[in-house]
Amino acid sequence: METRNIADDLQAIEKILGVTFTDSLLLLTAITHRSYLNEHRDAQQDHNERLEFLGDAVLELIVTDYLFRTYSDKPEGELTAIRAALVNTVSLSAASEKLGVNKYLLMSKGEAKDEGRARQYILANVFEAFIGAMFLDQGYEAARAFVARELFPKTDEIVRKRLWQDPKSRFQELAQEQASITPTYNLLGQEGPDHDRIFTIGVYLRHELVAEGKGRSKQEAEQQAAERAIAAKGWETD
């Protein structure tokens, strides 16, 4: 990528983030994956891991302060779980996807081809690196405004749908509230060799098979079954 194009990209990212950087090198560093430097030895910037480290801490403080003030009735353990759901890899990578910054990331050709789980981690890390860069360049309030705009609106859904709980715990609470029944799980089948076995688990309310789930462990299959059962019952929209 030519310098002129990178400069144009940085301006585009500033518009997306709603921040004009005093030190554009910080923003350039935020979008630079370690693999990019292996193919561009003459690059002026570092990779974004240090900014990610800083951004992670700033993000945790911003979200902790917000949850503490917003949910004064919730105990520490629940607030911790809600925070984890709000700032986990899935949530942060989705926020980056929504911003549309994926096409501006600087990575090696190999990394750029990977659209799976690895890309999800990269997108989540870039979101934290943006926060770190904003904090250094613009201060805490600018970083907080960004987080408030991009993440705080997700909080109500996380609390209302209990997304801070794992699906199995969530379905058990919902089943007890809605039907006064504790779900049970049964192994319906397994396939594949010992080193690559796939389990199929069914979740039941008394004798009713509500949903099935598959996974490489029984626990993973149970979680998927519970998640599908919640959707099948439609209880989270009640």
Catalytic residues, by residue number, are: 56, 128
C-beta of residue 35 within 8 angstroms of C-beta of residue 147: no
* Cα distance between residue 74 and residue 71, in whole Å: 6
CB atoms within 10 A of CB 20: 12
Place of tokens 């986990």: 88
- Which residues pair with residue 202 across a beta bridge? 186, 212
Rounded Cα distance between 92 and 94, Å, is: 5
Calculate the CA 185 to chain-centre distance: 28
**Are 86 and 154 a contacting pair, CB within 8 Å?**
yes
Closest of 99, 112, 101, 97 to residue 33, by C-alpha? 112
Which 3 state secondary structure label does DSSP give 17?
Answer: helix
Beta-bridge mates of residue 215: 199
CB half-sphere exposure, 173, CA atoms < 13 A:
11
